[in-house]
Amino acid sequence: MQSLQTRFAEQGFTVIAVSVDQEEDELQDFLEQYPVDFPILWDRSHQIVAQYGIAGMPTSLLIDRNGTIQRTHQGFRKSDQIQITRWIEQVLQQ
């Protein structure tokens, strides 16, 4: 996600991560291992997860400038980044 943030930031793209860790220490440990420069929302009560009907983690939502969800992608493998990059490029062209 950090590489996508870096690549598309100048075009108005922003990654916003949501952590569902129960303890703040778990979130901090993760961020020490994987530092990022985009916002992270801490949703330990799972309200955001419920609001968007997210069934598994990780799940990515690609939301356009108007706030409309354009794509939803569950899971992540390195090979997924190619398709996700294409989706971002398409949405940024709108």
Is the pTM for the entire model greater than 0.85?
no
Tracing tokens 């990654």 back to the chain, one arrives at 15
For 20, the domain range is 2-92
Q: What are phi and psi of 58, to 5 degrees?
A: -80, 150
Q: What is the DSSP string of 12-26?
A: T----EEE--SSHHH
pLDDT digits (tens, 9 = 90+) for 40-57: 999 999 999 999 888 888
In three-state secondary structure terms, 10 is: helix
Question: What CATH number corresponds to the domain at position 65?
Answer: 3.40.30.10
Q: State residue 10's pLDDT score.
A: 94
Domains: count for the chain: 1
